[in-house]
Amino acid sequence: MPLIIQSNDMVLIPSDYRDPVKQAKSPNRLIAGVHGGRFVVAHPLPAYAPYAAFAWIGEDLCEGVQWAIRHPREVVERISRGQAYIDQHHSAEAVARFWLDVLDSGA
């Protein structure tokens, strides 16, 4: 886990989400935060939508931090579910399986 993630309790990912150029961001930072066992609070970007059940995604990051403080049990549950999802879909093994399937299919 990167030291920057390890040394924090929460990961905040601000973005100029109304800027069309920023809409093309990848979910890498969100995935890294959840995989690192931290609760992620982020602005709404299209790439983050599939991970919304494992983080707090919204326009007001302060609201997300306040929600996390008020719901510590659910924060832990979301992180746990998110880590399981990431292990299943984004681990080295999952990526290798994906490419083997692609290569085997002749695509």
Three-state SS string over 10-74 comes to: EEEECCCCCCCCHHHCCCHHHHHHHHCCCEEEECCCHHHHHHHHHCEECCCHHHHHHHHHHCHHH
Taking residues 48-76, report their average pLDDT: 97
Can you give the C-alpha Rg of the chain in angstroms? 15
First to last CA, the chain: 34
CATH number for the region 3-105 comes to: 3.40.50.2000
Task: Of 77-81, 84-88, 89-93, give the lowest mean pLDDT range.
Answer: 89-93
pTM above 0.85?
no
pLDDT at 61: 97
